[in-house]
Chain A
Amino acid sequence: MFENRAIGLALTLPAALFAAALFLLPVGILLSEAFRAGDQWSVQAYFDFFAQPLNQRVFWRTLKLAGLVAIVSAIVGYAAAFCIVSLPPTSRGRMFGLVTLPLMISPVARTYAWLVILGRTGFVNAILVDLGILDSPMRILFTETAVFIGLLQLFMPLMIISLVSAMENMPRDAISAARILGANWFQVFTRVILPLTREGLVVGGTLVFTGAMTAYITPAILGGSKVLMLETLLYQRVTVANDFVAASVIAMILIVMAFSANILLKQIATARRTRA
């Protein structure tokens, strides 16, 4: 863009210094707490963290729920994205708007709505009891199921948006050509749609997994302290125990998990490209 590379670099310098001084440096100092034992550098804090059964359970629960949300989002997201891109332009815009509308509503408001819907006297239990499926209302709130539903509703639009964008860039004739050549729908999906939309899947998967893993409001409201996740555990360590070392450990774990998810998804996408 700039003939003189130095000019380009010089123009980015103020922003880079701003980001480094006001973001990277403070975050680095905060996270360095996780690598110190007194005045020495040490990873003992991580061993101490994972030595506790509660922390192990919280870690695996976070990984499980975030993974499930990402996988179900992808499955439902592909179906939704395929329907959206198959619609005429006017209808497509309206449908896309409906998908993105929840993103404009505060996550707190959305989560509190689930408190009403999933409650003992809420919509779900009322339907199940009226249909005779249940004799009496069941407890959904303050369980992993409630947290899963809340996170899925919160983050699935991001997956759908990524996949719609990827599908719109697919060659229009690709699916028709595959069908003409005898591919069934499963083959069309696995051999045509999936490879051509892998970038969208990687972006959407990263956003959904990272978002679900680091969500606080939804697990706090729908799960409470009986369904702790890493973010709610971090909050507990800071506000109750004033344990910034444990909080830094948790923050570092979340960062590593986010990067790992992104790398893994890219590896899967790359492997598909190589095989193809």
Chain B
Amino acid sequence: MKKLLLATAATLLATAASAQDKTLTISVYSFAQDEFKELVYDPFEAICGCTLVIETGNSVERMAKIEANAANPVIDMAVISSHDALAAARKGLLQSVDITKLSNYDKLYDLARDPIGDHMGIGYTFYATSIVYRSDKVTVTSWADLLGPELAGNVALPDVTTNQGPPTLYMLGKAMGDTDPSLSAPIEQVAEHADDIVTFYVRSSQLAQLMQQEEIWAAPIGRFAWGQFKDNGFPMAWATPTEGQTGGLNVMVMTAGNGNEELALQFMDFWLSTPIQTALAEALVDSPANSEVVVSDEIADNLTYGAETAASLDLIPADVILDQRDGWLEQWNAKVIQ
């Protein structure tokens, strides 16, 4: 009897230990978690026989948690913006992703394969940023039109603190013929026209209401927000400016010394696979970084899709964002904010 109890206890302990090993803690963005659970988390848990622990929050909170637990990582892998990933890599919080373990790596677009160097981050989605506008009020053919007389008093720009802010300023600078990374010239221009700008938005969800109330006729947004405008009852158009489109890239990263690398790589590879990337695209959650994803024209219209689009985006390099953003914020607060 005593031996039976000991054997049972030992089995239970072993099972508990085994289950504990098969846990993967991931840090992700808060949006569309219902869709991610249905399309990514539950299917992966069924395949790996493991448990996914999901942590969400804004990027600052998630980065702070990774840093606070650097000596003994709680989070195994995370999805963050490319510049946040570079910041984490510079602090020694990440480890290089073993791409030999990613069977879907070669299917990725070039811009997603090694965006921050040393394979510290692998791109899993990207988006284009351009200008959405009321086509019955104005025609936008250049980023410079944002500060032009036709849109004066009828335009919103992204705050410099948002992901869309610096890319918008960069493209304004490009339209002015000045692509200096300090963004001094476009910030100066925005400051001169500050009274003509209705607001500097901090969330794209603000724009939907402003457009609906006809407070604004145009604003730069990411393609992921296009769906909020195309069916709002007004004739809306997506600009293809002469200077091109900009955008952003989100990456998967692995925390240094987490001890769960095998499972984390398995999950990354699963997320990058064609079926999962296709499912996420068709659900209009994320634009695919996997070049083999094929979706209908109707779906593609709401995404940043295709090799041609991927190659055409003029993205600000992550290291430039990191090195310059304090200066951007300082200039913005000094010159633009009243």
Asked if residues B60 and A242 are in contact (CB atoms below 8 Å), the reply is yes
Q: How large is the interface on B (under 10, 10 to 19, 20 to 34, 35 or more residues)?
A: 20 to 34
Asked if residues A238 and B60 are in contact (CB atoms below 8 Å), the reply is yes
Q: Which residues of B contact A142 (CB under 8 A)?
A: 198-199
Q: Which of A119, A225, A227 has the most CB of B within 10 A?
A: A225
Q: Which residues of A contact B161 (CB under 8 A)?
A: 225, 236, 239-240
Q: Say whether B296 faces chain A, with CB atoms less than 8 Å apart.
A: no
Asked if residues B194 and A120 are in contact (CB atoms below 8 Å), the reply is no
Q: Which residues of B contact A52 (CB under 8 A)?
A: 333-334
With A226-B337, A238-B60: A115-B202 Cβ-Cβ less than 8 Å: no
Asked if residues A120 and B214 are in contact (CB atoms below 8 Å), the reply is yes
B58 closest partner in A (C-beta): A239
For chain B, what secondary structure do more than half of its interface residues adopt (helix, strand, loop), or is it mixed? Answer: mixed
Asked if residues A225 and B215 are in contact (CB atoms below 8 Å), the reply is no
Give Cα A116 to B58, complex, Å: 28
Q: Which residues of B contact A238 (CB under 8 A)?
A: 60
With A54-B337, A239-B60: A226-B199 Cβ-Cβ less than 8 Å: yes
**Which of the residues B60, B215, B337 comes within 8 Å of A119, measured between beta carbons?**
B215
Give Cα A53 to B199, complex, Å: 21
Q: Which residues of A contact B338 (CB under 8 A)?
A: 57, 226-227
Q: Which residues of A contact B326 (CB under 8 A)?
A: 241
Q: How large is the interface on A (under 10, 10 to 19, 20 to 34, 35 or more residues)?
A: 20 to 34
With A120-B215, A141-B215: A225-B329 Cβ-Cβ less than 8 Å: no
Interface contacts (Cβ under 8 Å), in number, total 58
Interface residues of B in 208-247 (CB under 8 A from A): 209, 213-215
Asked if residues A121 and B199 are in contact (CB atoms below 8 Å), the reply is no
What is the 8 Å Cβ interface bit string for chain A, positions 206-236, against chain B (1 contact, 0 not)?
A: 0000000000000010001111100000001
A227 closest partner in B (C-beta): B338
Interface residues of B in 138-176 (CB under 8 A from A): 153, 159, 161
CB distance from B115 to the nearest CB of A (A): 22
With A53-B334, A54-B333, A242-B60: A225-B202 Cβ-Cβ less than 8 Å: yes
What is the 8 Å Cβ interface bit string for chain B, positions 177-196, against chain A (1 contact, 0 not)?
A: 00000000000000000100
Q: Say whether A273 faces chain B, with CB atoms less than 8 Å apart.
A: no
Q: Which residues of B contact A8 (CB under 8 A)?
A: none
Q: Which residues of B contact A220 (CB under 8 A)?
A: 202
**Which of the residues A121, A227, A228 comes within 8 Å of B213, measured between beta carbons?**
A121
Given A52-B334, A226-B199, A226-B337, 17 extra CB contacts under 8 A: A54-B337, A115-B213, A119-B214, A120-B214, A120-B215, A141-B199, A142-B198, A224-B201, A225-B159, A225-B161, A225-B199, A225-B202, A226-B200, A227-B338, A228-B337, A238-B60, A241-B326
Binding site for A on B (CB under 8 A): 58, 60, 64, 153, 159, 161, 194, 197-202, 206, 209, 213-215, 326, 329, 333-334, 337-338
A-B contact pairs, 21 of them (CB 8 A): A54-B333, A57-B338, A116-B213, A119-B213, A119-B214, A121-B213, A121-B214, A122-B213, A142-B198, A224-B199, A224-B201, A224-B206, A225-B337, A226-B194, A226-B197, A226-B200, A228-B337, A236-B161, A239-B58, A239-B60, A239-B161
